[in-house]
Amino acid sequence: MNTRIQALTAGALAAIAASVAIPALTGAQASPAHSARVAHSRPGTSQADLLPAIERKRLRALVDADTATAGRSMAADFQAVTPAGDTLSLHDYLGSVKAGVIDYLVFKPVSRIAVRPSGDSAALRYKVSFDLVAGGTRVTHKGWITELWERRDGRWLIVWEQATAIPNNFDLFLQAIEPSGQS
């Protein structure tokens, strides 16, 4: 094992030992709020490791049009960029789902949800299968989702979401993005 990895491992083990030993030696107890925030952690995992499960729960809630559940993991300043290039605020997005303007039939990861943590933020990226009715038009395709999550007051919340469609017919896609008047 190289020296850098050994040092990082030793540092991580020391931090874990200190987090257990110091409260035990001093008689200190974690606050109930702190206990609730870390209750779902497993030994050897970081808080960011919880994000794929949180995201899957949010996606299931969107399919079920359960905007209350979906909204609990979404920041008040959330913005989504749709495959059509439109931006939606939290209010507009959840309002559209609740009203049935956006009706997710399937919104499911078809790849591993990759997590890239950095302090109190993390980027998520995964391939997704979409089957939805948007504004009365049924759309079925694959896509990529890229998201920015932030930990605020001990909770992970999605702040930005970018959905990129993978065209079912690449030739039609190329025609759709040609400059006007050149088809």
Q: Are residues 18 and 95 in the same domain?
A: no
Instruction: Please report, for the domain that includes residue 144, its CATH number.
Output: 3.10.450.50
Task: Give the DSSP letter string of 4-20.
Answer: HHHHHHHHHHHHHHHHH
pLDDT for position 30: 33
Q: Which residue has the higher pLDDT, 39 or 90?
A: 90
Q: Which of 22-26, 114-118, 134-138, 174-178 has the lowest mean pLDDT?
A: 22-26
pLDDT for position 180: 81
Report the predicted TM-score, pTM, of the whole model to 2 decimal places. Answer: 0.72
* Whole-number Å distance between alpha carbons of 86 and 71: 20
Range of the domain at 135: 47-168
Residue 182 is assigned to a structural domain of this protein: no
* Whole-number Å distance between alpha carbons of 116 and 112: 13
Domain count along the chain: 2
46-105 per-position pLDDT tens digit: 778 899 999 999 999 999 999 999 999 999 999 999 998 999 999 999 999 999 999 999
